Chains A and B, each alone.
Chain A
């Protein structure tokens, strides 16, 4: 992870206002291929807002995003997805009434042509879903199972599978372990480690020091909407990072 490499994703001077509230001010961030960046900060520090800016859900009030060295303007989540930038939301953003496969391909469903009609290709959805879940070693009864029938950990796994189904280059995860039982946390962290090995850049937002120190290579702290501190993991300690969250250096 040499710093001479060009970053995969870089955000420069991101500022975001909501009315008179300043959620982010002049925030910088970068992540390289195969690297995991941990983003920490207290509630309201601006972590989730920053991630939503990166995924195209919010437009920044000022600042710019560079993807593989090229400046990009994201109008919607579709734009970021097209670049290979995927987001796993804290509230998971899955439609419980739809099966696993249709959730993974939601918005990007494969279709087949029937005369002049473009119809959904359910067989292909099922086939691709099974292959993808196998690749990530995620066990579910069937790709046809509705998401609302799954456990919290299974849902998180589906959300991660969803984010990586389309050759993602950067995956952003907002509190990936927050809602999980202890047994399931390990599985999700393993999943993150295997993503890194395939050259994906991962950004993890977490409150859990265990998560950060298990999977991340670098950690940055936000405090009241600004960059507060940053370090490679080997040069810092849990206590120091916890201090950053509280606003102490």
Chain B
């Protein structure tokens, strides 16, 4: 009897890590299957799949940034506003006639500086929680964006500026049709996610980010400069929001005051759906990607089926609650009693 128990226990111990790592991908595959069955002609068509990736392109950048912050047990509410401010700065600089390579750099630098501002505020001003600092900058950055642009949209960028968000990689040399191209933004997502996967899993700084989320006192006692790491994390989060702004500029060909409104909530939702823990120290880059994809596919699929956007809100909210509940159940199985 005991032997049998041990066998079951060891089987659990062996399976749980895999389930923890890849369980969210199962959900994603399931969703793709369901959508395919509901919309067999359209959903998995080249055109629609590339569309999904184009739609999630800038959100995926915000989500990745917020994810790193959530791993440290923090939160960044300002990513939408950082993206809007970076986009407006890009638009103003572009309209002033700056050469394209300067225009392309401005949102990245602006985003980075906004994130740095958050990080310095949280550590130097010793805010009781990052929620407060970034709630403040959510207003500050959006206000600043409207101040520099006068609150009106600014449109018309050159092709070089629009390349990351709008560019296409022709695949006709592979014998495919002209309509079967690869969006540049898809390649960008892949590159950025791989870089950050390596950073978070294989570098010392990445390991320390997880350690801070697990137990900040342990990290401090290990000689890790916790404040420095937090400043790096918030700065990178801002930088990724800046990349988001550059993609959005390409997609919409304009800077507009409502850009990224409430997208911080989408980003947080994607992380939570993807299995990141709000208490810090838990979650994977792959999970965030799955979270972003699940939200993107859900929106896309419901649009294809002509479901009202109000229902989309209800469904996305339900998925957040369901995903976290599954997580709670999974943890029940995983911990010893």
Chain A residues lying within 8 Å of B203, measured Cβ to Cβ, are: 117-120
A87 contact from B204, B221, B281, Cβ within 8 A: B221
A223 at the interface (CB under 8 A from B): no
Chain B residues lying within 8 Å of A149, measured Cβ to Cβ, are: 335-336
Q: B10's closest neighbor in chain A, by CB? A: A141
Are A95's CB and B223's CB within 8 A?
Answer: no
Known: A94-B215, A97-B214, A149-B336. A89 touches B221 (CB 8 A): yes
Are B223's CB and A107's CB within 8 A?
Answer: yes
Which among B109-117, B159-167, B205-213, B261-269 touches the partner chain? B205-213
- The interface on chain B, measured as residues whose beta carbon lies within 8 A of the other chain's beta carbons, has a size of 24
8 Å CB interface, A70-94 against B: 76-78, 81, 87, 89, 91-94
B126 at the interface (CB under 8 A from A): no
A97 contact from B213, B223, B335, B336, Cβ within 8 A: B213
Are B282's CB and A95's CB within 8 A?
Answer: no
Known: A91-B217, A94-B215, A97-B281. A81 touches B207 (CB 8 A): no
8 Å CB interface, B192-225 against A: 198, 202-204, 207-208, 210-211, 213-215, 217-225
Q: B71's closest neighbor in chain A, by CB? A: A97
8 Å CB interface, A100-126 against B: 102-103, 106-109, 111, 117-120
Known: A77-B221, A93-B217, A93-B221. A98 touches B211 (CB 8 A): yes
8 Å CB interface, A56-76 against B: 57, 76
Are A78's CB and B213's CB within 8 A?
Answer: no
Q: How far is the CA of A54 from the CA of B259 in the complex (A)?
A: 52
Chain A residues lying within 8 Å of B219, measured Cβ to Cβ, are: 95, 106-107
Are B221's CB and A118's CB within 8 A?
Answer: no
Q: How far is the CA of A57 from the CA of B126 in the complex (A)?
A: 18
Chain A residues lying within 8 Å of B218, measured Cβ to Cβ, are: 92-95, 103, 106
Are B210's CB and A78's CB within 8 A?
Answer: no
Q: How far is the CA of A98 from the CA of B211 in the complex (A)?
A: 7
Chain A residues lying within 8 Å of B225, measured Cβ to Cβ, are: 76
B207 contact from A77, A78, A94, A120, Cβ within 8 A: A120
State the Cβ distance, A146 to closest chain B Cβ, in Å: 9
- Binary interface profile of B, 270-305, with partner A (CB < 8 Å = 1, else 0)? 000000000001100000000000000000000000
Chain A residues lying within 8 Å of B211, measured Cβ to Cβ, are: 95, 98, 102, 106
> Which of A55, A76, A103, A107 counts the most chain B CB atoms within 10 A?
A107
Chain A residues lying within 8 Å of B202, measured Cβ to Cβ, are: 117, 119-120
State the Cβ distance, A149 to closest chain B Cβ, in Å: 7
Known: A111-B204, A119-B203. A78 touches B223 (CB 8 A): yes
B281 contact from A92, A95, A103, Cβ within 8 A: A95
A243 at the interface (CB under 8 A from B): no
8 Å CB interface, A185-236 against B: none
Q: How far is the CA of A94 from the CA of B225 in the complex (A)?
A: 16
State the Cβ distance, A162 to closest chain B Cβ, in Å: 9
Chain B residues lying within 8 Å of A103, measured Cβ to Cβ, are: 218
Known: A106-B219, A111-B204, A120-B204. A97 touches B282 (CB 8 A): yes
State the Cβ distance, B134 to closest chain A Cβ, in Å: 23
Q: How far is the CA of A98 from the CA of B282 in the complex (A)?
A: 10
Q: How far is the CA of A240 from the CA of B87 in the complex (A)?
A: 73
A44 at the interface (CB under 8 A from B): no
Q: How far is the CA of A91 from the CA of B219 in the complex (A)?
A: 13
Are A95's CB and B214's CB within 8 A?
Answer: yes
Are A96's CB and B214's CB within 8 A?
Answer: yes
Q: How far is the CA of A108 from the CA of B282 in the complex (A)?
A: 21
Are A95's CB and B204's CB within 8 A?
Answer: no
Chain B residues lying within 8 Å of A89, measured Cβ to Cβ, are: 217, 221
State the Cβ distance, A83 to closest chain B Cβ, in Å: 12
Known: A97-B282, A119-B203, A120-B202. A106 touches B217 (CB 8 A): no
Q: How far is the CA of A111 from the CA of B208 in the complex (A)?
A: 14
Q: B225's closest neighbor in chain A, by CB? A: A76
Q: How far is the CA of A95 from the CA of B211 in the complex (A)?
A: 6
Are B214's CB and A98's CB within 8 A?
Answer: yes
A107 contact from B210, B215, B217, B224, Cβ within 8 A: B224
Known: A95-B211, A96-B214. A77 touches B204 (CB 8 A): no
A77 contact from B198, B213, B222, Cβ within 8 A: B222
Q: Lowest 8 A-B CB distances belong to which pairs?
A: A78-B223, A95-B214, A107-B222, A97-B214, A97-B281, A93-B218, A93-B221, A106-B222
25 A-B pairs (CB sep. < 8 Å): A57-B221, A76-B225, A78-B223, A87-B221, A93-B222, A95-B214, A96-B214, A97-B213, A97-B282, A102-B211, A106-B207, A106-B208, A106-B218, A106-B224, A107-B208, A107-B219, A107-B223, A108-B223, A111-B204, A117-B202, A118-B203, A118-B204, A120-B204, A120-B207, A149-B336
Chain B interfacial positions (CB closer than 8 Å to A): 198, 202-204, 207-208, 210-211, 213-215, 217-225, 281-282, 335-336
- Beyond A95-B218, A107-B208, A107-B224, 6 extra complex contacts between A and B, CB < 8 Å: A78-B223, A87-B221, A94-B218, A95-B215, A109-B207, A149-B335
